[in-house]
């Protein structure tokens, strides 16, 4: 906080510098030129950003290695103010970061960093002179992708159908066995009843038999 306005003002002081302890070991002039060109390109892109964000990331090739960089302004700055702040910061490279393999300069209204290894997330918009990553191969027309949840649901349905089939088959088997047992018992009862009916059919009234045999005469 401060007792004066700070919004929309390109503040360049105070500033802070940090650097990589290692120097570019070969082709130093080409390395410095690659850093300078990359930073200028990214500063132009960042300054045209909106109030939602003024930043740019990118990469460039120097002899034998890549250089990655990020530049950023506070989003309240206008295009001219952002461009001015970054130009002041980048202008300090020869004095503080000359031939260094990486470094940062912080100012109240802007900031930049460069390294020989990528340090920013690829989800950020990669702008400037870049080394493009190979595009992802398009999906094959012969490949069918099945969502895991759908596959799991299908598997559960198959299992449930199988369980239902087993239960139904078991119930049917039990009913069939019961039906066979019931039919056998009914058949046995029917045969017994037939036998009883046959026995009854052989039984005649005693008086009828006595009359027919003339009182059980030996002559008959």
What confidence score (pLDDT) does residue 157 get? 52
Structure tokens, 20: 């990589």
Domain harbouring 66, CATH code = 3.30.430.20
- Could you tell me if 108 and 195 lie in one domain? no
205: pLDDT confidence band, cut at 50, 70 and 90? Answer: low
**What pLDDT is stored for residue 19 in this prediction?**
93
Same domain as 100, residue 173: no
Res 204 pLDDT > 70 = no
Is 134 a residue whose pLDDT tops 50?
no
pLDDT at 216: 63
Do 27 and 89 belong together in one domain?
yes
Nearest residue to 20 (alpha-carbon basis) of 67, 87, 64, 63: 67
Predicted confidence at residue 129, as pLDDT, reads 40
Quick check: 46 and 71 in contact, CB under 8 A? yes
pLDDT digits (tens, 9 = 90+) for 44-95: 999 999 888 999 999 998 877 899 999 999 999 999 999 999 999 999 999 9
Which of 73, 92, 115 terminates a domain? The answer is: 115
Same domain, 111 and 167: no
Instruction: Mark whether 110 and 21 lie in a shared domain.
Output: yes
109 and 31 belong to one structural domain? yes
- In the predicted model, what is the mean pLDDT of the chain? 72
Report d(CA 107, CA 14) in Å as an integer. Answer: 6
Helices (H), the chain: 28-47, 79-90, 93-96, 148-202, 206-212
The domain of 194 spans: 148-212
The reply to whether 174 falls in a domain is yes
pLDDT score at 209 = 64
Does position 184 have pLDDT exceeding 70, yes or no? no
Which pLDDT belongs to residue 220? 56
- pTM of the predicted model as reported, rounded to 2 decimal places: 0.55
Query: Does any domain span residue 61?
Result: yes
* pLDDT value of residue 12: 93
In a domain, 141, yes or no: no
Q: Which three-class secondary structure state does DSSP give residue 194?
A: helix
| 29 and 93 share one domain | yes
Is there a single domain that holds both residue 21 and residue 75? Answer: yes
- Is the pLDDT score of 108 beyond 90? yes
Residue 162: pLDDT band with limits 50, 70, 90: very low
Calculate what percentage of the chain has a pLDDT beyond 70.
Answer: 55
**Claim to verify: residue 39 and residue 98 sit in the same structural domain:** yes
Q: Do 111 and 154 share a domain, yes or no? A: no
Mean pLDDT lowest among 2-6, 36-40, 165-169: 165-169
Angle at 30 between CA 97 and CA 32, to 5 degrees: 15
> Does some domain include residue 67?
yes
Percent of the chain with pLDDT over 90: 41
Q: Is residue 48 part of a domain?
A: yes
If asked whether residues 20 and 111 sit together in one domain, one would say: yes
In this prediction, residue 182 carries a pLDDT of 45
pLDDT band at 218 (very low <50, low <70, confident <90, very high): low
Higher confidence at residue 8 or residue 114? 114
- Distance in angstroms (rounded) separating the CA atoms of residues 189 and 126: 94
Query: Is residue 8 in a domain?
Result: no
Position 6 in a domain: no
Task: Tell me, yes or no, whether 29 lies in a domain.
Answer: yes
User: Are 29 and 100 in a shared domain?
Assistant: yes
Q: What pLDDT is stored for residue 107 in this prediction?
A: 96
Count of domains observed in the chain: 2
Instruction: Give the whole-angstrom CA distance, residue 74 versus residue 76.
Output: 6
């Amino acid at each position: 906080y401060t007792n004066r306005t700070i919004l929309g003002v390109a503040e360049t002081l105070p500033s802070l510098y940090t650097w990589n302890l290692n120097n570019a070991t070969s082709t130093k002039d080409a390395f410095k030129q690659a850093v300078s060109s990359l930073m200028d390109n990214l500063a132009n892109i960042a300054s045209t950003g909106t109030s939602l964000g003024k930043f740019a990331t990118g990469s460039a090739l120097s002899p034998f290695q890549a250089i990655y960089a990020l530049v950023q302004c506070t989003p309240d700055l206008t295009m001219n103010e952002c461009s001015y702040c970054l130009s002041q910061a980048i202008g300090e490279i020869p004095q503080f970061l000359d031939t260094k393999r990486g470094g940062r300069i912080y100012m109240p209204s802007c900031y930049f960093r460069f390294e020989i290894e990528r340090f920013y997330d690829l989800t950020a918009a990669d702008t400037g002179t870049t080394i493009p990553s190979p595009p992802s191969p398009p999906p094959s027309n012969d490949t069918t992708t099945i969502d895991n949840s759908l596959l799991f649901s299908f598997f559960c349905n198959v299992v449930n159908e199988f369980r239902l089939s087993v239960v139904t088959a078991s119930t049917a088997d039990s009913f069939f066995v019961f039906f066979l047992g019931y039919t056998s018992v009914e058949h046995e009862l029917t045969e017994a009843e037939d036998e009883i009916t046959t026995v009854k059919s052989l039984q005649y009234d005693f008086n009828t038999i006595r009359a027919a045999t003339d009182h059980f005469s030996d002559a008959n």
